[in-house]
Chains A and B, each alone.
Chain A
Amino acid sequence: MNTRHAILGSDPAAVLAQYRTLITKRWQQRAAEIGGPVAVAGVLAFSIWWLDISFGQSEPGLAALLKFIGLMFPPSTGGHLQLFLKAMAETLSIALLGTLVASVLAMPLALLAAKNTSPNNLLRFLVRRLLDVIRGIDTLIWALVFVGVVGLGPFAGILAIAVADTGALGKLFSEAIEATRARERESIVASGGTALMGVRFGLMPQVLPIIAGQVFYFFESNTRSATIIGIVGAGGIGLQLSEQIRTFDFDQVAFIVLLILGAVAAIDWISGKLRFAIIGRRQPWT
């Protein structure tokens, strides 16, 4: 209170001089404030020049794009409704089976990769690196590889999602396992149970709700990825979508996009309900 009175009472210039250190910025700060945006803009200009993006190209492109959008209305099935619905069902099947296989494969790997359950440090290290490598390769690349191995069709898509998500789920599961309390397992072992029993009765009940939540979340996101892996021939609605775009049937493109949006929203809703029913509350997704 006293200081405020003093400030109000005295000469503004003197006050300013007194508190100059509070309102002036250090030169480093000033340099960062000016240099940051300049650097961002510089890289931006360099990127445009390096990638040879010409704005002359964008004008006819934009016109073409507007024409495409015009052609999208009204969306139409083009008499292929049944084909599209079948492809959509295929997409959902790919997502379901892919996620399921991935979670089954990821569970034992996660137990081997988690610090508190791994029987051996070397094994743990190897499993973790394996999961890293699998995770580092995109689902679409896996899809392309599996198309080469088992041929065109949804089966390749299932395998792609199964493998790619084994990496991601394995890591998430192992983190969930590492975050459990040791007491439950210790008490089971102390009362004569084997280590495996400790995992089954002491650890599983703790991680199962978390894992179930993650699996549902992955099912949702896989529904999205399963819509695009068809573009490389791994089954599902993506194949139809890329065909219609390549043949410029934009009314059907619009219909397929709407179908995808509807299906994704429906799956999100159902799986969200199930997820909250299992884990009980909204969980921050990391």
Chain B
Amino acid sequence: MASGLPALPEQRLDQLLAHYRRDVARRQLRSLAMVACLAVLVVLAGRSGEVEPGKLLQHLSGLTSYFGRIMPTLRADHLTGDITEWYWNFFGWLKLLFDTVLIAYLATFTGMAGAAILAWLAAANLAPNGVVRWLIKRLFEFCRTVPDLVFALLFVSAFGLGPLAGVLAIGIHSFGTLGKLYVEAIENIDMNPVESVHSAGGRFVDAVRFAALPQVLPNLASYTLLRFEINVRASSIVGFVGAGGIGQELFVAIRKFYYTDVSAILLMIIATVSIIDLLTERIRHRLAPAASVG
């Protein structure tokens, strides 16, 4: 560092300043163009989305009063009575929540079982057959792109109302997402053990069992538990279309404006989801400290 800045000749300074201004102007022009594009898109989207800010303003008081109305009246002097009235169907809802968690469990198991069988055939480094691999990857993709609620609607039509439709719908969606994650985990393994198994005369199944599985098992388990957390949320929703769990009850409460029931059920769902998140997070951290982020 020189102690004194050498003064630039006037001409040179002008030149530099001109460069600077040109660069800044170019950047501003680019940002302006992006904002203009966005504005056009927003206007188009606003028209097709039937946005009426007037309607929102008009209903804004309705919105705030809605949240006011779903809050229970709790008075300090008869707190227990008020809480009993608020949670008048506590045990009924608790049973439904239990159903919801079990639906998530069954769905996660279904998805896991399917994905754990097929993922080996779809991993680039182990797959014995390219065509099979391509087909399975497309199957995974299809199952995770179609929303689970769409599957739920279809299965409710086919199997009738009840938890079976929910289990299958969420299970198929989990199958797609878990399959993708499993394949990625398998594709990242160290190939040396696989080669040793092959060179000792082992076949595809032996390579999977003795070389690949021990490497990926903690990751696979961690992904599956994470999926279980997600599925608990999903299974509290599938009841909206009649596929079992607490969703049905919540749907009815919101639709028929049983205000305090809405807040009671929502709080119970949030509590259940948080408890399950905490529990599985613990197990996941113990299973695979490195992989617990994903």
Contact = CB atoms under 8 A, between A and B. Distances in A.
A44 B50 contact: no
Contact of B153 (A57, A89, A231): A231
Interface in A223-264: 224-225, 227-228, 231-232, 235, 238, 241-242, 245-246, 248, 253, 257, 260-261, 264
A101 B255 CA distance: 26
Query: Considering the complex of A and B, which 9 residue pairs feature the smallest CB-CB distances, nearest first?
Result: A61-B159, A93-B45, A93-B49, A65-B158, A136-B270, A47-B102, A64-B158, A154-B49, A51-B163
Given A136-B270, A141-B250, A231 B157 contact: no
Greatest chain A CB density within 10 A among B44, B66, B159 is at B159
Contacts of B123: none
A43 interface: yes
Interface in A67-98: 68, 86, 89-90, 92-94, 96-97
Interface of B: 38, 41-42, 44-46, 48-52, 55-56, 59, 62-63, 66, 98-99, 102-103, 105-106, 109, 142, 145-147, 149-150, 153-155, 157-160, 162-164, 167, 233, 236-237, 240-241, 244, 250-251, 254-255, 257, 262, 266, 269-270, 273-274, 293-294
Contacts of A50: 98-99, 102
Contacts of B56: 150, 155, 159
Interface of A: 40, 43-44, 46-48, 50-53, 57-58, 61-62, 64-65, 68, 86, 89-90, 92-94, 96-97, 100, 133, 136-138, 140-141, 144-145, 148-151, 153-155, 157-159, 224-225, 227-228, 231-232, 235, 238, 241-242, 245-246, 248, 253, 257, 260-261, 264-265, 286
Given A53-B163, A144-B254, A231-B241, A97 B51 contact: yes
A149 B63 contact: yes
Contacts of B236: 138
Contacts of B262: 145
A136 B274 contact: yes
Contacts of A286: 293-294
A68 B106 contact: no
The interface residues of chain B, by DSSP majority, are classed as helix
Contact of A241 (B49, B105, B150, B155): B150
Contact of B157 (A94, A159, A225, A245): A245
B43 to A, nearest CB: 10
A140 B51 contact: no
Given A57-B164, A61-B159, A241-B150, A155 B273 contact: no
A264 B52 CA distance: 27
